[in-house]
Amino acid sequence: MKAGLLISGLLLASSALAQDAQEIVVIGVAPADAGLEPGKIPYPVQTADAEDLANAAATSLADFLRGAFGSVSLNDAQNNPLQPDLQYRGFTVSPLLGLAQGIAVYQNGVRINEPLGDTVNWDLLPQSAIGNIALTGGATPLFGLNSLGGSMAIDMKDGFGYEGFGADLSAGSFGRSRGSLEFGGNNGSFAYYLNLEDFREDGWRDHSESDAFNVYGTLGWRGDTGQVNLNYQHGESDLIGNGSSPVELLAIDRAAIFTGPDITANDMDMVSLDFSRVISERSSIGGNVFLRRNDTSAFNGDASEYDLGEFNEDDLSGTGILSDEAINNLSDRSQKTRGADFQWTTATNLFGFSSRVLLGAAWHRGESDFDSVVELADIDPHSRLTTGLGTGTFVDEDATLINTETESTSIYFTSTTDLGETLALTVSARSNHTDVSLRDLSGERPELNGDHGFSRINPAIGLTWQANENHNFYASLGESNRAPTPIELACNEYVYDLAVEYAIADGEDTDDVEFECRLPNAFLADPPLEDVVARNVELGARGMLEENTSYGLSLFRTDNENDILFQTTGRATGLFANVDRTRREGIEGNLAGNLGSLNWFAAYSYISATFEDDFQVLSPNHDHADGEGEITVLAGDSIPGIPAHQFKLGADYAFDERLILSLDLIANSGQYLRGDESNELDEVDGYNLVNLGARYRVSDRLSLYAKVHNLFDSKFETFGLLGEEPDEVEVPLIEDFEIPVFLGAAPPRAGFLGLRYRF
């Protein structure tokens, strides 16, 4: 039911604590952890299960989280339903290479942030195979690197929890069809589960078809003293997300594309083994090992900013056919990761107090090969596509061929001590050491070569107080960090300085040095050689206001040191830079309950995301940029892309045992454009989104469902940035291209019908 979706206070703490020990719902405080009673965890966690995901009938896991979890919003930067940027408390988790990622994501205890840029691919997370999901708020060191603003733990289904056969088929607007088949079972000791999920659509924008296919399976054994699961997943996707559009083009045709195509194709395999074993009445061990491979190819057609008169014979290779109409950014990246995480948990006495102690160690190694080239191309003036129009001429100075290796080792511990019947103290720490190695394989870019090391110990302390059976209070202080990704280290201002030094040593003109990164999805990398450190303070309360109404309330502040900021030099190019200090602080609260046949929830969050230093930042197409193409950011200016106010309201009404009608409202305030860090331009307007749904149970085995997305066909945008100079690009549909503002438009009204069958 929707009433169970939004419980930012770790489920219903009071009711969970009232159950006996065998029935207490527990939540893992670290990867592969067996879990802790929710009333003893000193920070907020939002949870959902397989039934919640099925009832929501969301497009992707990210889409589900936007509607069901507090402080979560999506940016349609890429304009593909399986490629959104997810913002939680002002921190990002995204599939787009080059964005600064601040959320750690785990699947069955395995960290699935990809090694090259810490990205997370929503298209490789089949919804119908997910058993449970938990989103933790705040800097949580036990979840390792990237848990700056929170962490996400996803547990997949198995044959002990799912028995029988199920099918789910749906179709509707935009030529979209979706189907899943699953079956599982067990004999008490051995279990099996298999899931197949397929997604296809033509897309609501022109030339934007996409498809994704996933297979997930697991074999498990469970005995009196432990269990073992062998898990395998294969995912394939071919996604077209043609990005944001100029405001002038949106005014003419919201479905039209500026340039295209922008294709991302993934081919992924992952195998993991997780286990747990009871050693004695007071101690147990658990952990996992895994292997993951993901090959990604990208094709991005874009407008050309080259002046052909500046090229000489040594700058180009291939056919020699020239064009200044467009370019094709072509890249391949092969990413391989392996790792292990082991934990020992024991119940003991510390200084005379009952305690639960967890000790763990983790190792993670990722290797990537990144190969990118820029091809001169023509462009179809009507479709705005470069498909099949490449000239076969390549700009050699913009080619990249690098190998990267990232290796992280960690040890960590946490101790939760009962200081009394109602008071619990949690003390935690994690030591992270990360080595990043980059090697230029082309022989033309020696400035990329480097070895980098980052080490840090992150502590945390928290206190919970069960004031009475209905009210639980908590407070915590925590730190976490993330090391710069290989992509960030390969494309930065320091590397540009090295390129200038090499030019001087070779007797070349330094004015000819142009270090400009072009990465897939029109996003680039960043220059910090310092790791990002987040320090979080949290105060909260959760419980029951009355018999049928739960609540959660939290105040938080996260201060980042050496945060990372994208500096735009155009729509498809730029650099990232360190910012000494940034801050995300705010308040979030929710209510959930039922009144007869009505189940409901309401959630509100205020997030103030600000820069806390004065500095200069690149934004050459900004109205107030100086002669160097920079704008002045002052302490207190808002970080772009993050709505300050978010409100969500949802309700399910059961007319009888068969028919349930649902209504959801999402309201977000405005946000500043990326590239307007000085907050001097107009904001992207806020929006209200209303969705309507219905479920009808035909029989115990068969049910039908329907959903109308964007019921009132509202026209709004969820993202914006400053792009190309108007006089550098010709767009036939726009008579006078004058405004360098690009927006990510949301889809129009859409309807979908589906059926579910299970036996």
| CATH number of the domain bearing residue 597 | 2.40.170.20
pLDDT, tens only, 419-448:
999 999 999 999 999 999 988 888 877 767
Residue pLDDT, tens place only, 65-119: 999 999 999 999 899 999 999 999 999 999 987 788 999 999 999 999 999 889 9
How high is the pLDDT of residue 302? Answer: 87
Distance in angstroms (rounded) separating the CA atoms of residues 723 and 77? 13
- pLDDT of 305: 78
Q: What pLDDT is recorded for position 28?
A: 78
Domain around 45: 2-182+204-758
Average pLDDT over residues 604-627: 92
Examine residue 191 and state whether it is found in any structural domain, yes or no. Answer: no
Whether the predicted pLDDT of 12 surpasses 50: no
Return all residues near 133 (Cβ < 8 A) that are at least 6 apart.
47, 48, 49, 53, 61, 152, 153, 154, 155
- Going by C-alpha positions, the residue among 591, 586, 590, 604 that lies closest to residue 89 is 586
* Partners of 461 in the β-ladder: 427, 477
Per-residue pLDDT at 527 exceeds 50: no
Count: domains in the chain: 1
Locate the DSSP E strands across 572-644: 574-595, 598-611, 615-618, 630-633
- For residue range 144-160, list pLDDT tens digits in order: 999 999 999 999 999 99
Provide the pLDDT for residue 8. Answer: 36
Distance separating alpha carbons of residues 58 and 533, to the nearest angstrom: 34
pLDDT value for 204 = 96
pLDDT of residue 156: 97
Q: Which H/E stretch holds residue 512? A: none
Task: Encode burial over 58-88: b for 16+ CB neighbours within 10 A, e otherwise.
Answer: bbbbbbbbbbbbbbbbbbbbbbbbbbbbbbb
Confidence grade of residue 297 (pLDDT, cut at 50, 70, 90): very high
Do the domain assignments include residue 190? no
Radius of gyration of the chain measured on its C-alpha atoms: 26
Residue 197 lies in a domain: no
pLDDT recorded at residue 256: 92
- Contact 341/606 with Cβ under 8 angstroms? no
What CA–CA distance (Å, rounded) separates 394 from 320? Answer: 8
Task: Output the average pLDDT for the chain.
Answer: 88
Per-residue model confidence as pLDDT tens digits over 707-731: 999 999 999 999 999 887 656 666 6
Whether 195 maps to a domain, the answer reads: no
- Give the pair of three-digit tokens for residue 210: 């996409």
Residues facing residue 326 across a β-bridge: 303, 377
pLDDT digits (tens, 9 = 90+) for 125-137: 999 999 999 999 9
**pLDDT of 506 higher than 90:** no
Residue 572 has pLDDT above 80, yes or no: no
Please report which confidence band the pLDDT of residue 400 belongs to, taking 50, 70 and 90 as the band edges: confident
* Whole-number pLDDT of residue 619: 86
Q: How confident is the model at residue 520 (pLDDT cuts 50, 70, 90)?
A: very low
pLDDT computed for residue 654 by the predictor: 97
What's the rounded mean pLDDT across residues 265-285? 96
Contact 555, 584 (CB under 8 A): no
| Token couple for 252 | 């003419």
Q: What is the pLDDT of residues 226-270, one digit of tens each?
A: 999 999 999 999 999 988 989 988 999 999 998 889 999 999 999
pLDDT at 23 over 50: no
Whether residue 199 lies inside any domain: the answer is: no
From 581, 475, 574, 436, select the one nearest 145 (Cα to Cα). Answer: 436
Whether 670 shows a pLDDT value over 80: the answer reads: yes
Q: How many residues does the chain have?
A: 759
Q: Answer whether residue 733 shows pLDDT above 80.
A: no
- d(CA 166, CA 724) in angstroms, rounded, equals 49
- Give the pair of three-digit tokens for residue 650: 């949802």
**Residue 67 contacts residue 59 (beta carbons within 8 Å):** no
> How many angstroms separate the CA atoms of 12 and 545, rounded?
11
Among 68, 71, 3, which residue's Cα sits nearest to residue 668? 71
Give the pLDDT confidence score for residue 109 in this predicted structure.
94
Residue 578 predicted with pLDDT over 60 = yes
Tell me the percentage of the chain whose pLDDT exceeds 70. 88
651, 528, 547: which is closest to 601 by C-alpha?
Answer: 651
For residue range 581-596, list pLDDT tens digits in order.
Answer: 999 999 999 999 999 9
Q: Are 181 and 138 in contact (CB under 8 A)?
A: no
This prediction's pTM: 0.92
Residue with tokens 């959104």: 84
Beta-carbon contacts of residue 254 (< 8 Å; ≥ 6 apart): 205, 245, 715, 745, 748
Q: What is the pLDDT of residues 315-366, one digit of tens each?
A: 899 999 999 999 999 999 999 999 999 999 999 998 889 999 999 999 999 9
Domain membership flag for residue 101: yes
Is residue 17 scored above 50 in pLDDT? no
d(CA 129, CA 650): 24
Calculate the alpha carbon distances from 175 to 178, 204, 209, 366, 576 in Å.
10, 8, 9, 38, 38
